[in-house]
A = this chain, B = another copy of it.
Amino acid sequence: MPGPPIALLTDFGLDDWYVGVMKGVILTVNPEARIVDVTHGIPRHDVLAASFALLVSYPYLPRGTIFIVVVDPGVGTARRILCTRTAGRYFIAPDNGILTGLVSRVSPDKMVSVENQEYFLRPLSSTFHGRDIFAPVAARLSQGVSIDEFGPRIREFHKVEVPGPAVETASATATVVWVDSFGNLITNCRGGVVEDLAGRWGRVVVQAGSQPPFPVVAGYETVEPGLPLGIIGSSGYLEISIREASAEMRFGLGLGAEVHLLPG
């Protein structure tokens, strides 16, 4: 039975050696580690986008997985590094709000501030804690070192405001929080909210940009290729899509854009 996987989620991209050397450090500490890339394509320094990506991806990694989450514009400042056990998994992340979404849904069993330099790489750089702290700490965790070894227990940590959809009587406004490679616009509006509105209004339509409203449907096959639709996507949130084309291109909308839900 192999040990728990170590899952990486960063904004490093794959063009540099940064992800490669993190893997090298992990394998130096634990030659049997198994490493999975969740993504390295988080928009640079975008803590909110990373928080969302983590929230919708973590449940699909096995229980026991150790997540390294590095979107860390404050590297080299006094910000702390958190290690928490929650939802049956471990998460190592900078204390910059990136865990807000996760912890709002599942409260942590335990959280420590990673401070025990015994587990850090030497010399410690001021610009690449992913390599020098996150990677060796994750590798040690994967070998069974107790979370309490890494630093003192803490209860308070940094949170960011994660905007939810704004629901009014006769309309609701959702915000685009991720644009995927297919050009789908993923919003912050959970499927349950759309269902509630449908119960109240009978039928929900979406208005995006200056285009005429279009329906929220149950599957792509409901509309012809090339037509727009709203759909509760695979992550459980309302997405704006064009069947077999890019909603990003068609609507000219991106991260942070607002779309409107109206009675249909």
Contacts and interface: CB of A to CB of B under 8 A. Distances in A.
Interface of A: 1-2, 5, 7, 9, 12-21, 23-25, 27-28, 31-32, 34, 36-41, 44-45, 53, 56-57, 60-62, 65, 73-78, 125-128, 131-132, 178, 180-182, 218-221, 225, 231, 233-234, 239, 244
B7 A24 contact: yes
A128 B12 CA distance: 26
Contacts of A13: 41, 181
B5 A21 contact: no
A234 B131 contact: yes
30 contacts: A2-B31, A2-B32, A7-B20, A9-B20, A14-B39, A14-B41, A17-B38, A17-B39, A17-B57, A20-B37, A20-B39, A20-B57, A21-B38, A24-B38, A24-B57, A24-B60, A24-B62, A28-B60, A31-B62, A45-B244, A75-B220, A76-B219, A77-B219, A77-B220, A77-B221, A127-B220, A127-B233, A127-B234, A128-B233, A132-B234
A5 B34 CA distance: 12
Given A19-B37, A132-B234, 14 more contacts: A14-B40, A15-B39, A16-B53, A16-B181, A17-B38, A20-B38, A20-B39, A20-B57, A27-B62, A28-B60, A45-B244, A76-B221, A127-B234, A128-B234
A20 B36 contact: yes
Nearest to A16: B180
Q: Counting chain B CB atoms within 10 Å of each CB, which of A16, A45, A78 scores highest?
A: A16
Contact of A53 (B17, B131, B225, B233): B17
Contacts of A2: 31-32
Contacts of A73: 225, 244
A60 B131 contact: yes
Contacts of A181: 12-13, 15-16, 18, 44
A76 B231 CA distance: 11
A20 B42 CA distance: 13
A75 B243 CA distance: 10
Closest 8 CB pairs of A and B: A15-B41, A128-B234, A20-B38, A13-B181, A24-B61, A21-B60, A77-B221, A17-B57
